[in-house]
Copies of this chain bind each other. A is one copy, B any other.
């Protein structure tokens, strides 16, 4: 259990020599994501995990520790991990089994931050469109907020992977999709009944992607329920 935010040492610098020292600003940016996403209902019940990338090759990550309330993350609720998804320093808290998904995404040189959220609309769509292994979003101005997209006429394919407790298997499926030569996975994906992974070149960009996907998921789902004309 992380302590309540009122009496926490959240604004004290992390002691020199600690694996997180010197990265307070990045950690605080993730904590702010947590407060926002929890208030939106996208990171409740200790779901979700967030990371910032310190290095891509080899992968050097700071990721949320396992089981924390995302609405009130403290500076020491994070773990520094390496390319094997394991803590790269001693005496750190445990990170989630899903850390390997962060590692896979952090291998791409342009990735600076990775955010996994868990919303109602994302969950519903991930199940509804699982049989097609994904769904397309097209024609929304909001798509232009995705990195590198310059027109609302863009067609965004949102892949849905099956949920599994075998994270290495899922990670290798995601790596394969990212490296697809004709149609590489871009911007984000869903895991069935589990939630969204998205990323960006920094925390700000990744957070923007979360907001955009969640907005679009709500549009897609609500649109399906409007009456036929």
Q: Which residues of A contact B (CB under 8 A)?
A: 1, 4, 28-29, 32, 40-41, 44-47, 69, 118, 120, 123-124, 127-128, 131, 139-142, 145, 150-152, 163, 165, 191, 193-195, 202, 204-205, 208-209, 211-212, 214-215, 218-219, 221-227, 229
Task: Kindly provide the distance from the CB of A218 to the nearest chain B CB, expressed in whole angstroms.
Answer: 5
Asked if B69 and A124 sit within 8 Å, CB to CB, the answer is no
Asked if A45 and B208 sit within 8 Å, CB to CB, the answer is yes
Asked if B118 and A142 sit within 8 Å, CB to CB, the answer is yes
On whether A222 and B44 interact (CB within 8 A), knowing A141-B195, A193-B139, A202-B1, the answer reads: no
Task: Kindly provide the distance from the CB of A43 to the nearest chain B CB, expressed in whole angstroms.
Answer: 10
Asked if B28 and A145 sit within 8 Å, CB to CB, the answer is no
Q: Which single residue of chain B is at the shortest CB-CB distance from A152?
A: B163
Chain B residues, CB < 8 A from A141: 47, 118, 163, 191, 193-195
How far apart are the CA atoms of A193 and B212 in the complex, in Å?
Answer: 13
Task: Kindly provide the distance from the CB of A224 to the nearest chain B CB, expressed in whole angstroms.
Answer: 5
Task: Kindly provide the distance from the CB of A95 to the nearest chain B CB, expressed in whole angstroms.
Answer: 15
Task: Kindly provide the distance from the CB of A45 to the nearest chain B CB, expressed in whole angstroms.
Answer: 4
Asked if B120 and A222 sit within 8 Å, CB to CB, the answer is yes
Asked if B229 and A41 sit within 8 Å, CB to CB, the answer is no
Task: Indicate which residue in B41, B165, B211, B224 contacts A151 across the interface (CB closer than 8 Å).
Answer: B165
Asked if A128 and B215 sit within 8 Å, CB to CB, the answer is no
On whether A211 and B44 interact (CB within 8 A), knowing A4-B29, A142-B118, A226-B225, the answer reads: yes
Task: Kindly provide the distance from the CB of A223 to the nearest chain B CB, expressed in whole angstroms.
Answer: 6
Chain B residues, CB < 8 A from A28: 4
Asked if B145 and A45 sit within 8 Å, CB to CB, the answer is yes
Chain B residues, CB < 8 A from A40: 41
Task: Kindly provide the distance from the CB of A190 to the nearest chain B CB, expressed in whole angstroms.
Answer: 11
Task: Indicate which residue in B46, B195, B208, B214 contacts A145 across the interface (CB closer than 8 Å).
Answer: B46
- 8 further contact pairs, Cβ within 8 A, besides A1-B202, A221-B226: A4-B28, A44-B214, A45-B212, A46-B145, A127-B139, A128-B229, A131-B229, A225-B226
